[in-house]
Structure 1
Amino acid sequence: MPDLIADDLVLLLCGINPGLGSAAVGHHFANPGNRLWPALHRAGFTPRQLSGVEDRELLTLGIGITSLVGRPTARASELSTAELRAGGRDLRARIRRLRPAWLAMLGIGAYRVAFDAPDATIGPQETMIGSTRMWVLPSPSGLNAHYPPRALAAEFTRLRDAMAFPALPARPAD
């Protein structure tokens, strides 16, 4: 699945890998049960709740999407340690080329493996890739029971506040 990227990104969101449904329709986080879109909206990154088929609208806000591993699976747990580590190397190269202001990895477990950071926690990371600051968010997958929607949105809000990204006022759905 191709990256959703542009020059001068303020934020690059990095999922673990595409789900089978997302890969089939060609849109990031297209599963209706994925909680990325409500979390972005509740945190003030988007003026309304988008859906996976509207993923390209993020580019107008300076936000892009990529994946750590390109291979689609039903569950991220199907990925091998070797795939996650190789994905980390590839992601570093993409970040050096794209130079977004911030990278937000969506999934602590994958981040720990890909960046050889077994003690990493949710939130800001000391590690940078060039001038890109790094932050780890919980996975927005509906399979992540550790973070209910309100807690997930709170973590996204912490990132938005740290970025000094202005909260977009809510507007009705089109």
Structure 2
Amino acid sequence: MSGAGATPSGGKLGPIVGPGLRVLFVGINPSLRSAQVGHHFARPGNRFWPAIHAAGFTPRLLKPEEDGLLPSFGVGVTNIASRPTRAADELRREELLAGAMELEHTVADSRPRLVAMLGLVAYRVAFGRTKAAVGLQEDTIGGRPVWVLPNPSGLNAHYKPADFARLYGEARAYADGL
């Protein structure tokens, strides 16, 4: 059940999953750059790859074009919404709600130990959890525990690299304990 992203022609950037995932990272939606090149978190300035490396999910810093290697490290990646945009706030509420329903199926099929949502505001909207905060959630997705993490987009200036390393590392430690 593994797959690479989309074609460089800008088609849908699909989930990358495999058996035995420790964590499934769920981005909000692909950037225009990611859709263009067919790889997750490909926009320059996105801090996903440094964050997962610093948190111990990968033994080395991967490049976006190596996203297909993620399942070999027990990591998967997908998005709530499939429509590429310049910024996530361009998505409509309906897109996030529809993506949440599709995500339930993806998670139920891939059965990761932990679902890591990358973006608090999108999680609140998509799942109707208006009081959610960063960290472990009371609710599940597809029957799996959920941990909300800060969005690694370079447009999110609220967090520094050390914050990402620490917060993503907390999620890794939790997943490793499951």
Same fold (TM over 0.5): yes
Q: Point out which structure has higher relative CO (alpha carbons under 8 A, 6+ apart).
A: 1
Residue in 2 that maps onto 1:29 = 41
**Residue 158 (structure 1) shift:** 0.8
Following TM superposition, where does structure 1 have runs of at least 4 consecutive aligned residues deviating by more than 6 angstroms? none
The two structures, once aligned, show a CA RMSD in angstroms of 1.2
Partner of residue 168, structure 1: none
Q: Does 1:128 align with 2:147?
A: no
Tell me the alpha carbon deviations over residues 86-127 of structure 1, each in whole angstroms, 9 at most, x when there is no partner.
Answer: 111111122122221110000000000011000000000111
Deviation larger for 25-34 or 135-144: 25-34
* CA deviation string 1:9-45 (max 9, x = no partner): 2211000000010011110001121100111111111
Please, which runs of 5 or more residues in structure 2 have no aligned partner?
Answer: 1-12
Query: Within 2, Cα distance between the matches of 1:149 and 1:87?
Result: 28
What amino acid sits opposite 1:108 in the alignment? L
Is this contact kept in 1: 2:115–2:141, CA < 8 A? no
Structure-1 separation of matches of 2:120 and 2:142: 21
CA contact (8 A) 1:14 1:65 kept: yes
- Alpha-carbon distance in 2 for matches of 1:129, 1:136: 12
Deviates most, 11-20 or 92-101:
92-101
- The amino acid of 1:74's aligned partner reads R
- 1:14 counterpart letter in structure 2: V
Q: State the partner residue of 1:2.
A: 14
Are positions 1:15 and 2:22 aligned together?
Answer: no
Counterpart residue number, 1:107: 119
Match of 1:144 in 2: 156
The 8 Å contact of residues 25 and 78 in structure 2, kept in 1 or not, is answered as yes
Tell me if the contact between 1:11 and 1:64 (Cα under 8 Å) persists in the aligned partners: yes
Give a deviation string over 1:55-113, Cα, whole Å, max 9, x none: 11211011110010000111101001111111111111221222211100000000000
Q: Take 1:130 and 1:91, find their aligned partners in 2: how far apart are those partners?
A: 8
Match of residue 85 from structure 1? 97
CA contact (8 A) 1:19 1:29 kept: yes
Contact 1:101–1:131 (CA under 8 A) maintained in structure 2: no
How many matched pairs?
165
Task: Give 5+ residue unaligned stretches, structure 1.
Answer: 166-174
The structural deviation recorded for 1:6 is 1.4
The percent of aligned pairs where both chains have the same amino acid is: 48
CA–CA separation in structure 2 for the residues paired with 1:20 and 1:73: 5
- CA deviation profile, 1:124-146 (whole Å, cap 9, x unmatched): 01111344111000000001011
